[in-house]
Amino acid sequence: MGFRLEGIFPAALLPLLLTMILFLGPLMQLSMDCTCDLADGLKVVLAPRFWARCLTDMRWLRNQVIAPLTEELVFRACMLPMLAPCTGLGPAVFTCPLFFGVAHFHHIIEQLRFSQSSVGSIFLSAAFQFSYTAVFGAYTAFLFIRTGHLIGPVLCHSFCNYMGFPAVCAALEHPQRRPLLAGYALGVGLFLLLLQPLTDPKLYGSLPLCVLLERAGDSEALLCS
């Protein structure tokens, strides 16, 4: 289920670093639009009062702690080991995210009850959310298999919840559009270049899910090596 000490430090740092590289453009956009400088921002983040405020904010706890931990535990740590022996690792990586995407359909009910938007726009928004949550779920499933740890997917999930979906339209209209779009492109390029090296199973020790499949007489060399 991804709870082990072997290789835990690279499993916590490298997947998060990889995800932050993918979000290079949005991070640049956030820094450009922020009114405070880096030193002031670090002072705020490192202040105990800031974290005390966060830990007493139920919305923050839900988005940054509870949802990432519980969703990754259910849809990666529990579901992948059950599906993989039946379907193989490759199909399991793309099947689990479908359940993960469907689990977010409860937002349709909330929007139908409280939103003033039309029914068509609500369902269109739900279809879009299903699409990107499914893609994200496939990514964290890939991380879970390649690292053999749950901590990486949880931290990446928390980071992505904080960042939200990249504001590409806002970037296209930004006063510093050219460097910002270059940051978006560079982030995607570096992510694709570093995806395999930074998730190399050799960095994380033995992979429990791959060992389980080998004992069952099934081996997915592409994902497990």
Catalytic residue list: 71, 104
Contact 74, 140 (CB under 8 A): no
Name the DSSP class of 199.
T
Listed residue (21, 30, 28) closest to 188, CA to CA: 21
Contact 186, 20 (CB under 8 A): no
The secondary element (H helix, E strand) that includes residue 51 is helix 48-55
Looking at beta carbons, which pairs linking 88-95 to residues 24 or more positions away fall under 8 Å?
Answer: 88/218, 88/220, 89/145, 89/209, 89/210, 89/213, 89/220, 89/223, 89/224, 90/220, 90/222, 90/223, 92/141, 93/138, 93/141, 93/142, 93/145, 93/223, 94/138
In order of 14, 136, 201, the CA distances from 147 in angstroms are 10, 16, 6
